[in-house]
Amino acid sequence: MKRFPSVILLSTLLTVLPLASQAAMFRVAKDDNELFSINIPVQDDLYIAGGVIQIKERIAGDLVAAGGDLTISDEIEQDLIVAGGTVIVEGNIGDDARIAGGEVSIRGRIEGDLIVFGGTVRLAPTAQVMGDAIVYGGLLVVDGAVETLRSAGGSIILSGLVRQNADVRGDSLQLSGTIKGDAVIVCKEANVLEGASIEGNLQYWLSDQTNPFEGIVGGESVFNADLAGGPKGEVIEATVFGALTLAAIAFFGYSLLSAALVILILVLSTKTFFPTAVKKLTRSPWGCMLTGLLYFVVVPAVGLLFLISIIGIPIAMALFFAFGLSLFFAKPIAAIVLAQWLLLHWKKPWGKIGLFFVALAVYVVLKLFCFVPVIGWIAIALAIFLTFGALLRTKAQLWKKFA
């Protein structure tokens, strides 16, 4: 009788876990096209990953996000760490901002430092960076105001205001803005437009060794041959590698935290359910594999059949909901079963905490297999079929026993 409440609790947890994640302000999308729109104020940190993310209300803590398209329309009171294909920041940021993206647009006020890696980076005329701005990208457009500027890229357009010093390195520079401090400019060519000014000293290098800065420098203007070469290859590589790495780390980190939450709750809330499933898996691996395969084929097929008839729609919706939860939690649940098998195989009495950490390590391995084409995907599918088959057989046995 002791095992029966654990099975009920396991089923209940799979239903309420999405709500628990929302209460903790941690959200991960089920697929790349899912839209997350935050329409109410958040009084704590927010961690979110999804296809399309829209932040329309104030976040009282940090915002850590990864997605395809991100739009931040309201205030973030603390740090902003985001990675995405398109990132638009319209609201104010109360502390530092670290952004990686294919196309990045900054339109609000950032009270701390700004670090951006991107293909195209634009600081709009409304943008205000009260700290250092470190910007790497293919096309950089600085129309707003920053405290200090350090930039490297392909084409750089500087028409805004740098309140202190600037270090600008790129293939080409178009300057029509103001640098109130000292400046270092390294590029192949520079075009100085009306209204441009550098109020401090200038060190520069241009490939044609001309001086287009004559008359706009308030201090000393020096051609420095030691700066030759423009932006180094390492800087250009860092632009792409840094953006991709930050995006990967962010999304993988959110996935890992989500899995850790699921694994921890399931491990702490069950006693003999997973060990029993492992025994069934050991005794009949092929049978468990077949059961798991049938589950992932038959359940959606049955759901579609119920969907055809009007009276069966509620049943179809329930089946699809349960099936969706199975897909969403497939890897964490498989990781627990495989970790339990390892512990029984090694005869290690590590308890629930040991099982949690081993399961988390197995989950990381499963996630890494996602990056191995075909073979890795097949291995993950087989692991999920095997473990789910064992769990379903265990649950069926328990229901028969207490029916």
Q: What is the pLDDT of residue 236?
A: 45
Question: Among 185-199, 209-223, 296-310, 353-367, where is mean pLDDT lowest?
Answer: 296-310
Q: What is the pLDDT of residue 35?
A: 61
Q: What is the pLDDT of residue 22?
A: 37
> Residues of the chain with pLDDT > 90: what percent?
30
- pLDDT value at 160 more than 70: yes
* pLDDT tens digit sequence for 37-70: 777 888 888 877 667 888 898 999 888 887 778 8
Mean pLDDT of 292-305: 87
- pLDDT value at 30 more than 50: no
Two structure tokens written together for 60: 């009282």
Two structure tokens written together for 367: 């996630």
Q: What is the pLDDT of residue 117?
A: 82
Match 């050991």 to its residue by tokens: 282
Phi, psi of 269 (to 5 degrees): -100, -5
Two structure tokens written together for 375: 């073979």
Average pLDDT, the chain: 80
CA distances from 86 to 70, 92, 93, 107 (A): 6, 18, 18, 14
Tell me, what amino acid is at 319? Answer: L
Mean pLDDT of 147-176: 92
Q: Which candidate, 31, 123, 112, 35, places its Cα nearest to that of 76?
A: 112
Kindly give the interhelix angle for 3-23 and 273-283, rounded to the nearest 10 degrees: 110
Cα dihedral 102, 103, 108, 109 sign: positive
- pLDDT value at 244 more than 90: no
Q: 294 Cβ partners below 8 Å, 6+ apart?
A: none
Q: Which candidate, 152, 167, 144, places its Cα nearest to that of 116?
A: 152
pLDDT higher at 301 or 158: 158
* pLDDT tens digit sequence for 247-273: 555 556 556 666 777 787 778 777 788
H helix or E strand, kind and range, residue 124:
none
Rounded distance, CA 372 to CA 51, Å? 22
Tell me, what amino acid is at 217? Answer: V
CA torsion 222→223→227→228, rounded to 10°? Answer: 180
* pLDDT tens digit sequence for 96-114: 998 888 889 999 999 999 9
Mean pLDDT of 169-190: 92
pTM as predicted? 0.56
Contact 182, 197 (CB under 8 A): no
Reported in sequence order, the residue ranges of 220-307 that DSSP labels E, i.e. its strands, are 221-223
Match 């308890």 to its residue by tokens: 351
The neighbouring-strand residues paired with 27 are 48
CA distances from 16 to 36, 49, 221, 322, 378 (A): 19, 19, 66, 12, 30
